[in-house]
Amino acid sequence: MLTLENVSVNYGAIEALCDISMRVDQGEVVTLIGANGAGKTTTLKTITGLLEPRRGRVMFEGEEIGGKPTHKLVARGISMSPEGRGVFANLTVRENLQMGAYLNKNKREIADDMERAFHMFPRLKERQAQKAGTLSGGEQQMLAMGRALMSRPRLLLLDEPSLGLAPLVVHTIFEAIDEIRSKGTTILLVEQNAHAALGHSDRAYVLETGRIVMEGPSKQLADDPRIKEAYLGE
Amino acid sequence: MSTFLQQLINGISLGAIYSLIALGYTMVYGVLKLINFAHGDVYMVGAFMGYYLANGLGVRAAQAIGMSANGLVARGLLGSGDLQPSLVTALIVMLLAMAICAALGVIIERLAYRPVRKYSRLTALITAIGVSLLLENGGQVVFGADPKFFPELFKKRNIDLVGGASINSADVVVLIIALALMIGLQLVVYRSKTGRAMRAVSFNLQSAKLMGINTDRIIAFTFALGSALAAAAGVLVAIRIPRIDPLMGILVGLKAFVAAVLGGIGNIPGAMLGGLLIGITETMVVGYLSPTYKDAVAFAILILILLFRPSGLLGTVAQEKV
Amino acid sequence: MSRYLRTLIIVLIVLGVLYGVDIVFHGRLISPYFARIAMLSGIAITLAVSLNLINGFTGQFSIGHAGFMAVGAYSSAYFSVNYGVRLAESLGGGSLGWMVSLFLATIVGAVCAGFAGLVVGVPSLRLKGDYLAIVTLGFGQIIVVFLNNIEAVGGARGYSGIPIVKSFFWIFLIAILTIVVVYNIVHSAFGRALISIREDELAAEAMGVNTTRYKVMAFVISSAMAGAGGVLLAHFDGYLNPKSFEFIKSFEILIMIILGGLGSIVGSVLGAIVLTILPEALRGFAEYRMVIYSLLLIILMITRPQGLLGGNNALKIWRARRRARSAAAKAQIVDAPAESSSDRNPTENPPGKEHA
């Protein structure tokens, strides 16, 4: 579904990604783990067109998408819940969700999708008239995920959904990821919480200072002694 | 008492015009974080478009001097029946001027500001100063440097009020139209899908892109909206005081910008409030102190506000990102 | 000791050259028109380099420079009209008398402008970015409004009757002094503190730099030098009008340093010269002159946003470019297609496109 072939990305003179190759197949949950500054967010931004690759190709469903404007990629079925959640604090919860469905002109579908988001995260329904800026961190994360789903993506990119959340909320978020997956949406998950990420994904890539250093089935990586030492703290 | 009432009426009328211009500054700042120095000059172009349209449509000029050669030529070319001065005429002239300036705003954004958007904000600011100088100097070449007299779009008369004050029908029209435009803007920004997208873009450009919003289009739309309001202000000013010249936008634009900052830049109700405050204070200073200090008022208020409440009256305190 | 000797020799040579050129100008050996533009360039250099200290090196965006220039111009003009003329005459009315008088007028102008800078700077410099820009612009405008209302200096009619001292020597002495002062500041511990404020104010503060104090000091020095520029202008034409110190004038100076490249002294000097000559050079276009000028400005911002000599050190870029060019020339001998790579000089544009 999505493949990156030898992609390199620069911030000014600094190379943030170096010769990355990876793929995400239809129906999979793939996770990208790594330390701060390893290039995880850069990878997602490149896929969504927020950054332009300097070299290499980004292919989505057989077509080159590297450097295409973001709004066109959203229309093609890629959606992203950004790091730090990026909800519109000055808009209400309901308006945030409506923004997620910006490209959808069918009011009926939007209403259905909103119901689905409320079903997945009942807390959002209670707070739908509230400004998003007044929500707690966990609620904002739910809103960001719910909003990302409103565009009916085929590929959902999640950037650090568990960052800074209480363990109980983290649990809710990963349950939601399982639920989204069960409905057939492909997910690329970026996480620092390697333990949870490996437990809820099929395959994984390990990113270190802009390069992919390991890849394989999540179960296998979770048992790898190097991963255990570096990312699972065992 | 009657002086006070009279000055208050004048102040509100002037303030409404500042508000209309301030809205454009504040909206553009919201989406681009750019002080669009050329905005005051778009207001000037709006007034001139009103002038040419009115003459072209054959509205009889208020003063003999107002019957410029341009008006006569335009009338000869159009050859259509002359429009009688009426409120409808005024409205038609204003709406057409708004449409022209909306297009101008979009063109300015597309040709000058979009190419520099990826550079530093300073570069964008200098570009805006460049566009401002271009419109002022271009205006002097195209419209002529001498002041022109705006035709009377409808019959003006004084309406006496209780307390000895009076209000000119022009002021009534200015107030009603300004109010209608501001209500309209509120509806667009807070009730429409595009308005929602505008607010999303001004809050977080990157997140807005991720929603599938074509942010370039929203930014262009913001310029169109702001420029149209500035053009309306230009025509309304010319209705009140029918003397227009290519440099009329400099000081008014600066004061309107101050109004936007006063209200909290990026904040739409703030711009309206700021405009009214500047307008009223200015007329009060003219009435009670000295007309020579009127141009210092706006800046003095601005400095006081910024020193004691840097985010403006209605602005939220911006946190510094570490 | 030899270092001091060397400095002394350089100073003497500079003074000698300036004096020589002054004699040439006074002897009407060159056209007065050219002399006028040269002297206006000198005044512009003083203004641009001083503004660069605060905008370019300290990173504090001020657009009220013309206001301080006005304070310097008016205060020195007032001094000259009321005391300077008498002083010069009591010293014999010769060029020496005028020199002393102008020297004192410059001190008066610079001190007054520096004081105005202090009054404006202390409250304003707590603000950052756009807000600082607006407040300085506001103060600049207020100064103009007040000048319009002070009858003792002519008010809105303008201030005439100021003794005219058109001195190439004096103008360029001040310009060179400004350059030397700014250069020395930038290369001192004080200057490093200023640059650290520009790069990251929070970090500078965390490292123990008293940022407010340094910013105010830079602002006062910059204002005083702008005042000196104003002094030169006042005694150049013998007439002052508040209108010529409106924010448009501040923009003009700002454009000079942007054109030259922020944080580059050489750039500011070139920017000042180019922008003084350009409107004159465009005179042939009559009323289209300013239209072309503003169009050029926009086009420049789009094509070369870092200014003509952008970056931190113009000389470094020039050298890098020369090296690149000679490297490309060598490559050309071996392999012709290498030519295109030399055009893409690394200093032209930051590599990599960011979608902000």
Of A12, A49, A50, the CB nearest to C351: A12
pLDDT for residue C288 = 84
Confidence of residue B143 (pLDDT cuts 50, 70, 90): very high
CA angle B159, B164, B167 (to 5 degrees): 30
Query: CB–CB of B302 and C134 under 8 A?
Result: yes
A55 touches chain C (CB under 8 A): no
Nearest CA in chain A to B212: A71
Residues on chain A touching B197 (C-beta within 8 angstroms): 99, 102
Distance from the first to the final alpha carbon of chain A: 34
Considering only the beta carbons, identify the residue of B203, B206, B214 that sits closest to A90.
B203
Distances (CA, A) of C276 to C24, C225, C247: 21, 19, 17
> Which tops the pLDDT comparison, B173 or B80?
B173
Torsion angle of the four alpha carbons C191, C192, C194, C196, in this order, in degrees rounded to the nearest 10: 170
Helix (H), strand (E) at residue C259: helix C247-260
Q: CB B196 to CB A91 under 8 A?
A: yes
Q: Which residue of chain B comes nearest to A83, CA vs CA? A: B207
Which residues in C lie closer than 8 A to residue B246 (C-beta atoms)?
A: none
Asked whether B303 and C135 are in contact (CB, 8 A), the reply is yes
Q: Do B133 and C294 touch (CB under 8 A)?
A: yes
Under a CB-based contact definition with an 8 Å cutoff, are residues B40 and B132 in contact? yes
Contact status, residue A11 vs residue C352, Cβ threshold 8 Å: yes
SS3 B143: coil
Sequence-distant (6+) residues with CB within 8 A of C51 are C62, C65, C222, C226, C253, C254, C256, C257, C268
Residues 6+ apart with CB under 8 A from C352: A9, A10, A11, A12, A13, A52, A54
How much is the pLDDT for B69?
Answer: 44
Rounded distance between C-alpha atoms, residue A37 and residue B295, angstroms: 52
**SS3 call for A14:** strand
A86: which 2 tokens? Answer: 């990026």
Of the partner residues A11, A50, A70, the one whose CB lies closest to the CB of residue C352? A11
Domain extent at residue A52: 2-87+153-230
Residue identified by tokens 């100063």 is B129
Model confidence at B62: pLDDT above 70: no
* Residues of chain C positioned with their CB less than 8 A from the CB of A71: none
pLDDT tens column, A126-182 = 999 999 999 998 999 999 999 999 999 999 999 999 988 888 999 999 999 999 999
Angle between helices C2-26 and C168-186 (to 10 degrees): 150
Q: Does C129 touch chain A (CB under 8 A)?
A: no
Q: Do B203 and A91 touch (CB under 8 A)?
A: yes
Do the Cβ atoms of B126 and C130 come within 8 Å? Answer: no
Report, in angstroms and rounded to the nearest whole number, the Rg of chain A calculated over CA atoms. Answer: 17
Q: What is the pLDDT confidence band of residue A61, given thresholds at 50, 70 and 90?
A: very high
- Dump pLDDT digits (tens) for B65-111: 344 444 444 444 444 445 566 788 889 999 999 999 999 999 999 99
Give the single-character DSSP code of B184.
H
Which architecture characterizes domain C11-303 according to CATH?
Orthogonal Bundle (1.10)
Residue B165 distance to chain C (closest CA, Å):
30
Task: Judge whether A89 and A139 are in contact, CB under 8 Å.
Answer: no
Asked if A71's CB is within 8 angstroms of B214's CB, the reply is yes
B226, amino acid identity: G
A181: CATH: 3.40.50.300
Chains within contact range of chain C (3+ C-beta pairs < 8 Å): A, B
Whether C301 and B320 lie within 8 Å, measured CB to CB: no
Q: pLDDT at position C327, please?
A: 52
Please name the amino acid found at residue A122: P
The set of residues, in sequence order, having a beta carbon less than 8 Å from that of C213 and lying 6+ positions away, is none
Residue among C278, C251, C263 nearest C309 (CA): C263
Q: Closest residue of B to A79, CA-based?
A: B210
Mean pLDDT of B39-63: 84
CA–CA dist C291, C217 (Å, integer): 38
How far apart CA B20 and CA B43 sit, in angstroms, is 10
Going from N- to C-terminal start, the domains of chain C cover 11-303, 314-343
**What pLDDT is attached to residue C330?**
47
pLDDT at A57 over 70: yes
Return the structure tokens found at A93.
């919860």
How close does chain A come to B243, measured CA to CA in Å?
Answer: 42
Residue A142: inside a domain: no
Helical spans, DSSP H, in chain A:
40-47, 70-76, 93-100, 107-120, 122-126, 137-149, 167-182, 194-199, 218-223, 225-230
Query: Hey, are the CB atoms on C142 and B300 less than 8 Å from each other?
Result: yes
- What is the number of structural domains in chain A? 1
For residue C112 the two structure tokens come to 């007054």
**Tokens at B239, concatenated:** 């209705």
Measured distance CA(B295)–CA(B307) in Å, rounded: 20
Locate B164 and state its tokens.
């000895």
Where is pLDDT greater, at A230 or B48?
Answer: B48
Please give the residue of chain B at the shortest CA–CA distance from A103. B212
Q: Nearest residue on chain C to B32, judged by CA atoms?
A: C356
Give the integer Cα–Cα distance in Å for C167 and C174. Answer: 11
The answer to whether the CB of C50 falls within 8 A of the CB of C222 is yes
Residue of A46, A42, A67 whose CA lies nearest to A207: A42
pLDDT score recorded for residue B265: 82
Q: Which two tokens stand for residue A89?
A: 């604090």
Cβ pair C294:B137 closer than 8 A: yes
Torsion of CA B7, B10, B14, B20, to 10 degrees: 120
- Compare B83 and B144 and report the one with higher pLDDT: B144
CA nearest to A135, candidates A72, A172, A104, A91: A91
Residue pair C143/C135 in contact (Cβ under 8 Å)? The answer is: no
* C342 min Cα distance to partner chain A (Å): 18
DSSP per-residue codes, B105-127: HHHHIIIIIHHHTTS-HHHHHHH
Q: Is A152 left (phi over 0), alpha (psi -120 to 50) or beta?
A: left
Minimum Cα–Cα distance from C253: chain B residue: B126
Evaluate whether residue A125 is within a structural domain.
no
Contact residues on chain B for C355, CB-CB shorter than 8 A = 118, 209
C350 touches chain A (CB under 8 A): yes
Q: Which of B14, B46, B239, B32 is nearest to B120 (CA)?
A: B32
Pick from A13, A52, A70: CB nearest C353: A52
Percentage above 90 pLDDT, chain B: 52
Query: CA torsion A168→A173→A175→A181, rounded to 10°?
Result: -170
Dihedral angle over CA of B143, B149, B150, B153, nearest 10? -150
Strand, coil or helix: B96: helix
The 10s digit of each residue's pLDDT in C231-258 is 999 999 889 999 889 888 998 899 888 8
Distance CA B133, CA C293 (A): 9
Please report where in the chains the tokens 């072309």 appear, as a residue.
C292
* Of the partner residues C61, C251, C355, the one whose CB lies closest to the CB of residue B129: C251
Angle formed at CA B302 by CA C60 and CA B170, multiple of 5 degrees: 135
Q: Is B32:B127 a contact under the CB 8 Å cutoff?
A: no
* Torsion on CA atoms B59, B64, B65, B68, rounded to nearest 10: 40
Work out the average pLDDT over A71-95: 90
pLDDT at site C310: 58
pLDDT number for residue B20: 96
With residue A34 as reference, give the H or E element that holds it.
strand A29-34
* CA end-to-end distance (rounded Å), chain C: 55
Query: Per-residue pLDDT for A217 more than 90?
Result: yes
Distance CA B68, CA A22 (A): 71
Exposed e or buried b per residue across B164-186, where buried means at least 16 C-beta atoms within 10 angstroms of its C-beta: ebebbebbebbbebbeebbeebe
- CB contacts, 8 Å: C288 with chain B: 141
Cα distance from N-terminal residue to C-terminal residue, chain B: 53
**Does A86 contact chain B (CB < 8 Å)?**
yes
Tens of pLDDT along chain C (356 residues)? 577 888 888 888 888 887 777 777 776 677 778 888 888 999 999 999 999 999 888 888 888 899 999 999 999 999 999 988 888 888 876 777 888 888 999 999 999 999 999 999 988 888 877 788 888 988 998 999 889 888 888 888 889 888 888 788 888 889 999 999 999 999 988 888 888 888 888 888 888 888 889 999 999 999 999 999 999 999 998 899 998 898 889 988 998 888 888 888 898 999 999 989 988 888 777 778 888 888 988 998 888 887 776 554 444 444 555 555 555 444 444 333 333 333 333 333 333 333 33
Alpha-carbon span C175 to A156, nearest angstrom: 62
A148 belongs to a structural domain: no
Q: A42 to chain C: which residues are within 8 Å by CB?
A: none
